[in-house]
Amino acid sequence: MYELVITEKPNAAKRIAEALADGKPIKESYQGVPYYKLTHGKKDIVVACAVGHLYGLAEREKKGWRFPVFDIEWKPLYEYSKSAAFSKKYLNAIKKLCKGANEFTVATDYDQEGSVIGKNIIAFACRQKDAYRMKFSTLTKDELRESYKNKSRHLDWGQIEAGEARHYLDFFNGINYSRALTSAIKSTGRFKLMSTGRVQGPALKIIAEREKEIRAFRPKPFWQIELKGEYNKQAITALHKEGKFWEKAKADNAIENIKDAKEAKIQSIERKEYRQIAPFPFDLTSLQVEAYRCLGIQPKETLEIAQELYTSGLISYPRTSSQQLPSTIGYEKILNELQKQKSYAELSKLLLKRQRLAPNNGKKTDPAHPAIFPTGILPNGLKERESRIYDLVVKRFLATFAEHALRQTMTAEINCNNEIFAAKGTRTIEKGWHAFYAPYVQLEEVELPNFKQNDRIKVSKIELLSKETQAPKRYTPASIIKELEKRNLGTKATRSEIVDTLFQRGYVQGKAIEATELGISTIETLEKYCPKIIDEELTRHFELEMEKIRENAQKKENLLEDAKEAITKIIGDFKKHEKEIGKELSDANKATQDEMAFIGICPVCKEGNITIRRGKFGNFASCNKYPDCKTIFSLPKNAFIKPAKKNCEVCNFPMVLAIKRAKQPMEFCLNPKCPSKNVEGEAGAKAKAIAKGEVKRKCPKCGEGDIVLRSSIYGKFYGCSLYPKCRYTEKLSTGQ
């Protein structure tokens, strides 16, 4: 007999087995699934792995397309999901290993999801009512051995109950609302798979409301007066102290007073110093926001990469809402390990010289895990994006221990014929934590000359700038996650997935997230006929109730009964207006499809629209005036095609964007005879380069051709326009 330890992923099983084994664990497999045998003290242990969720919620008995539906149960995922067929062998392996076990320990991730995964395996595969529970935040040997030594005698039922409540709630809301929306469209004779959910609806509402604000925005004109001058050969720029002139006459009057000025005087100087505190340690949301800001990595991918780094033992558990690093993680030990890595050796040494190590902890906490931190284990064979996220985590960890930075602001008031201008500068006096967080500190450094009062500056130019107020900015994938967290909608682990679903359903589009006609119409239609589906307050209420379940202050059964009652009433209201809802959603869906497929005006008939269409042999682009206009263009296969929303600079035909997996998006012109496509011809290369203003100079090799920007399957480069006669090339400089 032996103790069976169950982990969430294969990587975790390997690391836990290696940590607990007194010698070397023996690796075996069943149906291709690895498991490990080992001895720990006087005990025989087998470590087996799941592969995430092996069980999911499904209808107990499927009776067609009906709603509302509440009769659901846990079933093996492979039984009802084709995409989860691979999970069957993992479940089979655990079932086989259960038979020889007399003790069971759950070592899945210590959060609600991990707890539900472990409980379901114990209950349904192992047929046990309870088990031991390990709690850890890193997959390092010392912590895993300590976690095993201090394991709880019971499963973490508070987290399990809260996690199960969330699964039930999400299923109830998702299946019933999604079926209702899809059914409404089907009632019009069309079909479009629609979805919404407990958090998805309110999230879409936030984005749609921002889009409506932008559309309703009317810019208001204002004017600014800019003075450019010189002091001791250093250029100076100052703005009129009035800031924004809302009346042009007032701005014109000020300009009239100074239009002939050749000189101005420094009237006053004000210097202020302030301490810029070190950043807080990363929680998941701040990591996702910072990775998007600094590295351009999408929040969903950041979480996936961070999870890989965690299972590789390189960082702590990433699904945390804590901004605090407790002393129990061993600051000095981690810094000593980081000191062995060349990139962080000097920075770690500087911190280790300090008498006291104390991170600048934030206020946010998490009952299960500390903030994200590196373990100090030497990374090996990381891919580029993994390496960048790892570096960001390490630098943030180091920066939290560093001194505050000292910054100075300087404001000089400049008198020009009694019109007062202000020149402002900010510079760093003491770098402090900036040195530890490079290159992720992005602060503007504007240093003004060392002015003295009554110094004179030479005025070179005075300009009246005409501007307009700007519409509110659209959300980015990072800022919408931050907004959802601020409103307590969703969880740290699910918010990026929810935003991704909005894109998949065609509710939103673009890098700066724009609600489509379908997205806006869905919200407007639901607000009109069934507002509770997208009610933020209702969603937040259930989030708070689930937290009470985790704290054993609320019963899961009571919460689910409340949810069933609310959903039944909402669906009842929905069904009263099903046809009206279906008509409005169907029209909006068609408008969105047309919008997303529109490439440009037909270059042949000048009347129709060139749109992306699907044919028997794949996508193509054609004029919607067919059969009157038979203009048609082929499109590349094995690529996702999007309108580029611009015309070719050489021939003025519409352009499209081809996106292939693991490759940079590529723009190309629809015109097969466009001169820019003749990469081997002088006329084509030169026409393209001249149109873009990219002719650099005469070729230094042949002296006849021009050096122009060109493209190949390997990317862009500069080359001679007389290719292949002259094969001279140059690499692009960094940043081009």
Spatial separation of the C-alpha atoms in residues 421 and 239, rounded to whole Å = 5
- Strand 33-40, strand 43-49: pairing: antiparallel
Spatial separation of the C-alpha atoms in residues 126 and 106, rounded to whole Å = 12
Residues 451, 231 contacting (CB under 8 angstroms): yes
What are the distances in angstroms from CA 397 to CA 40, 118, 278, 316, 633? 34, 31, 10, 12, 53
Residues 209, 246 contacting (CB under 8 angstroms): no
Strand-pair partners of 30: 33
Pick from 506, 514, 510, 512: nearest CA to 585: 506
- Reply yes or no on whether 714 is catalytic: no
Contacts (Cβ under 8 Å, ≥6 apart) of 21: 36, 38, 39, 40
What are the distances in angstroms from CA 682 to CA 406, 653, 708, 723? 57, 21, 10, 7
Instruction: Catalytic residue, from 317, 331, 344, 718: name it.
Output: 317
Residues 288, 306 contacting (CB under 8 angstroms): no
Residues 75, 56 contacting (CB under 8 angstroms): yes
Task: Burial-class residue 719 by CB neighbours within 10 Å (0-12, 13-18, 19+).
Answer: buried
Token output for 558: 């009571």
Token output for 50: 């799941």
Q: Per residue, what are the HEC states of 226-288?
A: EEEEEECCEEEEEEECCCCECCHHHHHHHHHHHCCCCEEEEEEEEEEEEEECCCCCECHHHHH
Spatial separation of the C-alpha atoms in residues 300 and 499, rounded to whole Å = 9
Pick from 419, 458, 482, 88: nearest CA to 236: 458
**Which residues form the catalytic set?**
317
